[in-house]
DNA sequence: TATGAATGAGCTTTCATTCAT
DNA sequence: AATGAATGAAAGCTCATTCAT
């Protein structure tokens, strides 16, 4: 079946084009202020065509967030694999996160919205909760494990690992917020070193004490 | 004229009742999924009455967030006045913030939404931005000053004060998020000591080194 | 009952004040775009008070037009009593009409509206129809009689008197329209002589032929 | 592409159907008492469909009046081209006007309303004023020119041509009003001869004096 | 008698979704 | 498979009218 392959590829490409167009519009105008015909226009498809790929505005939105969140999380998880030292893993993760966020301005805002606000209809929310949340949770858990490992190896202080993960992610989000608030003026990744320092200073056990 | 006073008091009370009802509904369903008639129903007033106190759905929403944000910030600012020691000021501020947030669950979610995502109509957003943001900024600046003072007195390390403020607020928000995410299961203020510890450990100059 | 007399006079005065305020607003904004609270404000009464004098917005409007129309018609009818010569009666009537219209700009527009447009709710319309229309009809009929008398006396040509009345009133209204359209720039009564001339030239039997 | 032609024709037809239905309802109930759903019902379309052809109730109303006014004026202007004799031109114009008005009862009432009274919202009014007025003015000016030419040729008396145009149009409107008022009982065009006679008798210079 | 806060039916308008082509 | 005209439920908001003070 040589033909069906091409058709399928074309379908996949169309789907991606629609998602890309939708992301653009959603980021600019938010879920409720975006109309399906705007998306259709941006995607250069007829409105009916959108509905052949996504059964509703909500499904389109949910898919968009979920797929992108998954992709980001994959990159971050990968970043923590480069080194085997827990301290380096955390450093890599911080560095990579700042880079990724810096590259996906608009999307970050969309995702943040879904975490924090009761904006979308109930069904969407629960889908997103179980989707994005579980992605986010998986990620926090991954960091938790790094901290746990670090504690075992005596490189991290004996704080509750979950709380460490939450605090670190909080600091990162704090700078992301500040960056969003500033209208993306200053560099986001310029804060990487400060974050690493302020966080590790209280969490890492200094090498000299370690050796002891 | 004792009568005119009563009328005015009644007007103020009605206004508060409407705001309270609106907060309830907005928190549960978000700006767009809340209808004015739902608010009217919740406030036990006719729909027209709502419009005698607030000229539009947007104004009601904006007022709601702005007034509450202002009130919270006032309490927090006050909390930092109890002690004159910068370290104690920061401790008090963290403690007070955890308490206030714990008491205003729903509102926190609304405000978080407004910070992070383009959910409400454009005009509302810009009003909120300039309103809430300026409140928030004033607050960050207040903390900045505490850090600055602490650096001068040699009790805080010589980090950029703004960044310290951002990082600290980030940690706090991280735990607030986690708490929201958990459905308000665990105690929020139970994290107060951990936050104080993890933050001050890297930022405070230990008393023994200070004496030097 | 010396007191009841004062009360009654006061009631009548209030009624007139309300009517005057209402006329002002209606003329500026039209029936539908005028709100009762605007009228109350303009009359310097509470809204409830308006309803003690007029049972509805429509009744107020209807009363306004009817009373004013009646008053104008009275003046005009009076004007035709000064002379006993039919030709002079018509001249006086034209002259007086131009003067009155010139003095009551706004009202003219209101009244004109009621003649020509199906704008008000059905009930109002029928009241106005039977009210203003009958006033207007009475007036046309009065002129008809003058023409009839003039024909009998041999000073007017033997045209159908009703048609003469209609044509004359049409000419007058034509100039009133032109005047309204011009934004009340040129003098309205400046057209009096022309109207008299153009109309009488074809309708009056010249004195020399009359003598015959 | 024979198909795209059909679609366009269908669109035009639908537009006309909506306009026709709207005219019907507006004429019966006036601008404010007409609801969009009544129009939709009358047009046998969904309410949303109306809004695909006209962006608002006001635009629909404005378009309706302007297009029809334009069409009528076109016919009238054409009528004055049949003959080259100014007197005949005026006669033709009167005759044609009575015929057209007789055929467009309802519309006449709408237009009359717009000329004389502030019934529709302010924005609509000003659009209509500048639209209908300019059409009407163009028409008055056309007649003015006929009178001017007639004066030059010595067939009309030396009256100000503008005033003659105003007076003639006034007479015509007078009969139209009478006809409207009578509920369209008597024939309107039955008055044509009388109008021609009463107007020309005072304005036309009789052929015997002309020859001189 | 005078008031004006409270009311809610009813309006215009939007937009996700469908379906005949 | 792709289209986009048609749909109509549902929203925000207004304002004539009422009635407790």
- Find chain A residues with C-beta within 8 A of B170's C-beta: 170-175, 177
Protein-proximal nucleotides of chain E (any atom < 7 Å from a CB): 1-20
Q: How many CA atoms lie within 13 A of D40 on its CB side?
A: 15
Going by the DSSP 8-state scheme, the letter that residue A56 receives in this structure is S
What residues contact residue A134 under an 8 Å CB cut-off, 6+ apart? none
Q: What does the pLDDT average to over A168-189?
A: 87
Shortest CA distance to B143 belongs to which of C99, A174, D111? A174
What residues contact residue D191 under an 8 Å CB cut-off, 6+ apart? C163, D98, D175
User: CA of A112: which chain B residue's CA is closest?
Assistant: B116
Pick the residue of A23, A115, A117 with the most B CBs within 10 A to test the interface with B by mutation: A117
The yes-or-no verdict on residue B28 having pLDDT over 60 is yes
- The residue ranges of every structural domain in chain B are 1-54, 62-211
- Find chain B residues with C-beta within 8 A of A118's C-beta: 27-30, 109, 113
Q: Which nucleotide is nearest to C34 (CA to C1')?
A: F15
Q: What does the pLDDT average to over D16-24?
A: 94
User: CA of B180: which chain A residue's CA is closest?
Assistant: A116
Percentage above 90 pLDDT, chain D? 54
User: CA of D157: which chain C residue's CA is closest?
Assistant: C198
Query: What is the per-residue pLDDT across C118-172, written as a single tens digit (0 to 9) for each?
Result: 455 555 655 665 566 677 777 788 899 999 999 999 999 999 999 999 999 999 9
User: CA of C167: which chain D residue's CA is closest?
Assistant: D171
Check residue A106 and give left, alpha or beta (phi > 0: left; psi -120 to 50: alpha).
alpha
Q: What does the pLDDT average to over D69-74?
A: 86
Q: Rounded mean pLDDT of chain B?
A: 86
Taken in order D21, D25, D27, D31, is the CA torsion positive or negative? negative
Q: In the structure, how far is the CA atom of residue D48 from the C1' atom of nucleotide E21, in angstroms?
A: 21
Residues 36-95 of A with CB under 8 A from B: none
Q: In the structure, how far is the CA atom of residue C36 from the C1' atom of nucleotide F16, in angstroms?
A: 7
Both structure tokens of C212: 């015959």
Hey, do B1-54 and B62-211 end up sharing a CATH topology, with the first three levels equal?
no
Q: What is the CATH number of domain B62-211?
A: 1.10.357.10
Shortest CA distance to D107 belongs to which of C118, B41, B166? C118
**pLDDT computed for residue D114 by the predictor:** 54
**pLDDT computed for residue D95 by the predictor:** 96
**Exposure letters C18-45 (e unless 16+ CB within 10 A, then b):** bbebbbbbbbeebbbbbebebbbebbeb
Both structure tokens of D81: 């081209």
- Find chain B residues with C-beta within 8 A of A30's C-beta: 117-120
Instruction: Please state the pTM of the whole predicted model.
Output: 0.82
Q: For C80, phi and psi rounded to 5 degrees?
A: -80, 0
Instruction: Indicate yes or no: strand E within 7 A of the C-beta of B10.
Output: yes
Q: In the structure, how far is the CA atom of residue C40 from the C1' atom of nucleotide F18, in angstroms?
A: 16
How does residue A113 score in pLDDT terms, banded at 50, 70 and 90?
Answer: low
Q: What does the pLDDT average to over D50-55?
A: 96
Out of B27, B121, B181, the one facing A133 most closely (by C-beta) is: B181
Higher pLDDT, A105 or A156: A156
Cα angle vertex A204, ends A203, A205, to 5°?
A: 120
Taken in order C186, C190, C192, C197, is the CA torsion positive or negative? negative
**SS3 label, residue A136:** helix
Residues comprising chain A, all counted: 212
**pLDDT computed for residue C212 by the predictor:** 46
Q: Give the helix, strand, coil percentages of chain A, each rounded to 5.
A: 80, 0, 15
B85 and B95 in contact (C-beta within 8 Å)?
A: no
**pLDDT computed for residue A123 by the predictor:** 54
Going by the DSSP 8-state scheme, the letter that residue B189 receives in this structure is G
Q: In the structure, how far is the CA atom of residue C47 from the C1' atom of nucleotide E3, in angstroms?
A: 7
The yes-or-no verdict on residue D107 having pLDDT over 90 is no
How does residue B120 score in pLDDT terms, banded at 50, 70 and 90?
Answer: low
Tell me the sheet residues that pair with D204: D156
The yes-or-no verdict on residue A115 having pLDDT over 90 is no
User: Tokens 């001339």 label which residue?
Assistant: C197
**pLDDT computed for residue C120 by the predictor:** 52
The yes-or-no verdict on residue A205 having pLDDT over 90 is yes
How does residue A60 score in pLDDT terms, banded at 50, 70 and 90?
Answer: very high
What residues contact residue D199 under an 8 Å CB cut-off, 6+ apart? C202, D90, D94, D167, D168, D171
Q: Is B119–A110 a contact, with Cβ atoms under 8 angstroms apart? A: no
Q: What is the pLDDT along chain C (212 residues), one digit of tens a residue?
A: 455 688 888 899 999 999 999 999 988 888 888 999 999 999 999 999 999 999 999 899 989 988 888 888 888 889 989 999 999 999 999 999 999 989 887 777 666 555 444 455 555 655 665 566 677 777 788 899 999 999 999 999 999 999 999 999 999 988 988 887 787 888 999 999 999 999 999 999 987 775 44
Query: What is the per-residue pLDDT across B122-153, written as a single tens digit (0 to 9) for each?
Result: 556 666 666 767 777 888 888 999 999 999 99
Shortest CA distance to B21 belongs to which of B7, B38, B5? B38
**pLDDT computed for residue B147 by the predictor:** 97
* CATH class of this structure's domain D1-54: mainly alpha
Both structure tokens of A121: 């209809």
Please give, rounded to a whole number of angstroms, the shortest distance from the CA of A78 to a CA of chain B. Answer: 23
Q: Is C32–D119 a contact, with Cβ atoms under 8 angstroms apart? A: yes
Please give, rounded to a whole number of angstroms, the shortest distance from the CA of B175 to a CA of chain A. Answer: 6
**pLDDT computed for residue B122 by the predictor:** 59
Protein-proximal nucleotides of chain F (any atom < 7 Å from a CB): 1-20
**pLDDT computed for residue C48 by the predictor:** 96
């Amino acid at each position: 079946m040589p033909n069906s392959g091409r058709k399928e590829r074309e379908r996949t490409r169309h789907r991606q084009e629609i998602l890309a167009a939708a992301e653009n519009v959603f980021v600019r105008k938010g879920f409720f202020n975006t109309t399906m015909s705007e998306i259709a226009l941006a995607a250069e498809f007829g409105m009916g065509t959108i509905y052949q790929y996504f059964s509703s505005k909500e499904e389109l939105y949910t898919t968009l967030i979920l797929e992108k969140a998954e992709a980001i999380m994959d990159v971050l998880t990968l970043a923590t694999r480069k080194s085997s030292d827990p301290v380096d893993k955390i450093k890599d993760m911080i560095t990579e996160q700042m880079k990724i966020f810096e590259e996906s301005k608009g999307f970050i805002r969309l995702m943040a919205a879904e975490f924090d606000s009761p904006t979308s209809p109930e069904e969407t929310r629960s889908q997103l909760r179980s989707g994005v949340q579980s992605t986010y949770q998986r990620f926090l858990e991954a960091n938790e494990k790094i901290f746990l490992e670090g504690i075992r190896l005596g490189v991290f202080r004996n704080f509750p690992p979950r709380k460490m993960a939450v605090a670190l992610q909080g600091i990162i989000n704090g700078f992301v917020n500040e960056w969003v608030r500033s209208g993306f003026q200053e560099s986001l990744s310029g804060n990487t070193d400060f974050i690493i320092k302020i966080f590790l200073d209280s969490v890492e056990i200094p090498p000299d004490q370690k050796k002891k």
